[in-house]
Amino acid sequence: MTTPKPRARDLGIDMPGKPGPLNAVTDVPGVEVGTVELLSSRDPALMTRGIQVQTGVTAILPRGRDSEPKPVWAGQFSLNGNGEMTGTHWVRDGGWFCGPIVITNTHSVGPAHAAAVRWMVETYGDVWENNHLWAMPVVAETYDGVLNDINGLHVTEAHVRKALDAAKRGAVPEGNTGGGAGMICYEFKGGTGTASRRIDAGGGSFTLGALVQANHGMRPWFRVAGKAIGRRMTEDRIPGMSAERGSIIVILATDLPLAPGQLERLARRASIGIGRAGSPGGNNSGDIFLAFSTANEMKLPQLSGPWRQMTMINDELLDPVYLAAVEAVDEAVLNALCAAEDVPLARPPKGVCKAIDLDQLKQVLATEG
């Protein structure tokens, strides 16, 4: 086993706010994450078309493996819509969703959706079967065709189910993991990243966690802790990348009681989070965000009585919550970059998508005004 690379905080980067014990989305009680990678560097048999395979699946279970289908309240926002996140029409109308979240590459939304539906049918059993219930899981994507044979359609339902079955509490693997295996961020190797913040509100203590699939940004835009790092770290840029061609998915989770409208506003703050590292949300980028709360546990409306009760925080107390989201998203992107490893480009021109040089990053941060 290799020694884990240091995360952003380990490098001494000024990361404001108080993280949870894992500094991960799994600090939110009940949230579980699983990842699966398809890597021809480990299994050459995957390379059926003479192009390397470097892709995967990330699965998030908002309520773990609860055998009763209990929705979570949610809100969604798209900063730039050149991408896909299924189920969000209903999130915007109904304010909730039920079941897992799956993140993968652009051409694997179909098998991911089918596998998530099958997981819901099997997990919820007779309750699902006998009440004419239907599944609209959240499946999101970013494009990994620069590093992966995306047109080979290598991700199958079985791979997605493996990620769902692997979901657990605890530390979340970052960098070249899950759906982030083949992603590029600010022309460095990107991928999966996570972070969390503790929030004191209304006399209680709560957690907000972020998970990102970071595949966005141009090198000259890149900033760390307010410093223009990308203008100094100019080596090994991606050949031919003259405009934004990536995307980022952000999932925000919390146990703070929030109403759907508040969660939509929280999801918007992910825009500021990714903006801290320099991204303006390019025209060809799918910058798509979802926020959910595990508070206000409920049954599905189809299985409920005529009335609902909800606890929600006073809007006047939301500023620290918004700040926590901005900080966690920014740190999650940096954690994805810090954890990543070099990957060869999948197609000509030949080259390598280099992971960020952490020693150089520290040196530039120390000298950049």
Contact yes or no for 180/56 (Cβ under 8 A):
yes
Instruction: State the catalytic residue, choosing from 27, 144, 149, 287.
Output: 287
Tell me the pTM: 0.97
Contact yes or no for 142/247 (Cβ under 8 A):
yes
3-state secondary structure at position 149: coil
DSSP structural state of residue 224: B
In this structure, the number of other CB atoms found within 10 A of the CB of residue 303 comes to 13
Q: Which two tokens stand for residue 174?
A: 């970052």
Closest CA to 355 of 366, 344, 367, 368: 344
Output the pLDDT for position 369.
60
pLDDT per residue as tens, the chain (369 positions): 466 899 999 999 999 999 999 999 999 999 999 999 999 999 999 999 999 999 999 999 999 999 999 999 999 999 999 999 999 999 999 999 999 999 999 999 999 999 999 999 999 999 999 999 999 999 999 999 999 999 999 999 999 999 999 999 999 999 999 999 999 999 999 999 999 999 999 999 999 999 999 999 999 999 999 999 999 999 999 988 888 888 999 999 999 999 999 999 999 999 999 999 999 999 999 999 999 999 999 999 999 889 989 999 999 999 999 999 999 999 999 999 999 999 999 988 889 999 999 999 999 999 976
How far is the first Cα of the chain from the last one, in angstroms, to the nearest whole number? 38
CA geometry: angle 27, 185, 362, nearest 5 deg:
80
Question: Distance between CA atoms of 220 and 279, rounded to whole angstroms?
Answer: 10
- Strand partners for 76: 290
Q: Which two tokens stand for residue 96?
A: 């909730």
* DSSP string for residues in 283-305: TT-EEEEEEEE--S----GGGS-
Residue 271 annotated to the active site: no
Output the pLDDT for position 368.
79
Per-residue exposure over 275-297, b if at least 16 CB sit within 10 Å of its own CB, e if not: bbbbbbbbeebbbbbbbbbbbbe
Output the pLDDT for position 1.
45
Instruction: State the catalytic residue, choosing from 247, 271, 279, 293.
Output: 247
- Strand partners for 188: 185
Residue 67 annotated to the active site: no
Closest CA to 32 of 137, 136, 115, 102: 102
Contact yes or no for 256/321 (Cβ under 8 A):
yes
Residue 287 annotated to the active site: yes
CA geometry: angle 5, 254, 279, nearest 5 deg:
55
Closest CA to 249 of 25, 94, 19: 25
Closest CA to 138 of 94, 203, 168, 175: 94
User: Which residues contact residue 43 at a Cβ distance below 8 angstroms, ignoring those fewer than 6 apart?
Assistant: none
Question: Distance between CA atoms of 89 and 79, rounded to whole angstroms?
Answer: 15
Question: Distance between CA atoms of 365 and 369, rounded to whole angstroms?
Answer: 8
User: Which residues contact residue 10 at a Cβ distance below 8 angstroms, ignoring those fewer than 6 apart?
Assistant: 338
Which residue in this structure is represented by tokens 């044979």? 149
Question: Distance between CA atoms of 200 and 27, rounded to whole angstroms?
Answer: 15
Question: Distance between CA atoms of 150 and 302, rounded to whole angstroms?
Answer: 39
Question: Distance between CA atoms of 97 and 171, rounded to whole angstroms?
Answer: 25
Instruction: State the catalytic residue, choosing from 78, 196, 285, 293.
Output: 285
Question: What order of strands is seen across the sheet that includes strand 204-215?
Answer: 96-97, 72-81, 286-293, 247-254, 204-215, 191-201
Q: Domains in the chain, please, with CATH?
A: 18-61+69-300+310-346 (3.60.70.12)
User: Which residues contact residue 75 at a Cβ distance below 8 angstroms, ignoring those fewer than 6 apart?
Assistant: 91, 92, 95, 260, 261, 262, 263, 264, 265, 266, 267, 290, 291, 292
